[in-house]
A = this chain, B = another copy of it.
Amino acid sequence: MITVLTGGTGGAKFVDGLRRLVAPEELTIIVNTGDDHDWWGLHISPDIDSILYTLAGMLSPERGWGVRGDTFHCLQAIKALGEPAWFSVGDRDLATHLLRTQLLSQARTLTEATRIIGEKLGVRSRILPMTDQHVETRIHTPAGELSFQEYFVKRHSQDPINSVRFACSMDAKPAPGVIDAITKAAAVLIAPSNPITSIGPILAVPGIRYALRQTEAKVVAVSPIVGNAAISGPAAALMISRDFAPSISGIADCYEDVLDILVVDDSDAESARSLHGRSVQFACTNIFLRTSEDRERVARTTLELAFPEFQGTKLADAS
């Protein structure tokens, strides 16, 4: 069994590569729910949806979120009613949120709701929320404390960041199956998602970080950082706010206690060599995930690193 920790769009691209190589039943995806939010009275789980849609083959390739070919007529009507409309929800996408909200109102857990929706979409891999409890990523800025969606979508990641916290994470429990999926995995992969607000909330749920430390499986991450910048999104600024360097060294620091191998871009090969001697090993490849071929190639590289018998990629420290 392959277990993946993932967040939003970068994670979905990586999972899109994995689904081309791994039998769906062999894949478990543990997903960040710190960005979940209430919108128009609906429970929106953006990262779970990105993974659901990716595995169902219905993710919009242009946007990287939401449903392929979706329209936004309800959103336009909400806007015409003078209601907040800064978070885009497509008309077909709405069906998922309506069903999830109904299931949750019927006392189903988020794990159950996710399983039911996945089955209805024909997804055969297991998608697990990191927790069934409410955990909320909060970004403290000079303009006040913002939810992740307010910071990222509404205000376009423009605010300086004072600090980041995961509200209620101390009271959260890993969702059923999460700990086993890590400790019993043949390999644990960390997607190239933002280490602070995508993977960070997962690691903040008590017990998950410990399970990653304890698992006998190799833990392999793909860096979301190339050089001194994130491939996309606000990862660099968020890392700086937590005193991590926005570099592969900083990524290694984020995951130091849990990580075996960090897959970095070829352009970071020299940096990787300079980090030789750390507990984390580095492997280099082209980590940009633009095309299906890119995604499959990076997924294959990562899997080969996780299963030593493959030995398909040279390790940075051996180069």
Contact = CB atoms under 8 A, between A and B. Distances in A.
Interface of A: 40-42, 67, 70-71, 73-74, 76-78, 80-83, 90-96, 98-99, 101-102, 105, 117, 120-121
Contacts of A73: 70-71, 73, 90-92
A96 to B, nearest CB: 8
Contacts of A92: 73-74, 76-77
A83 B121 CA distance: 12
Nearest to A73: B91
Given A70-B73, A105-B41, A78 B91 contact: no
Chain A binding surface, main DSSP class? helix
Given A41-B101, A76-B92, A120 B81 contact: yes
Given A91-B77, A92-B73, A117-B81, A98 B67 contact: no
A67 B74 contact: no
Nearest to A75: B95
A106 to B, nearest CB: 9
A91 B74 contact: yes
Nearest to A102: B41
A99 B42 CA distance: 11
A82 B121 CA distance: 9
A242 to B, nearest CB: 35
A203 B76 CA distance: 38
Given A98-B78, A120-B82, A71 B91 contact: yes
Nearest to A90: B73
A213 B156 CA distance: 61
Contacts of A120: 81-82
B102 A74 contact: no
Given A91-B91, A105-B41, A83 B99 contact: yes
Contacts of A101: 41
A96 B42 CA distance: 14
B121 A81 contact: yes
10 contacts: A41-B98, A42-B98, A67-B77, A71-B73, A73-B73, A74-B91, A81-B120, A82-B120, A83-B95, A83-B99
Contacts of A102: 40-41
Of A77, A82, A105, which is in contact with the most chain B CB atoms at under 10 Å from its CB? Answer: A77
Contact of A81 (B40, B83, B95): B95
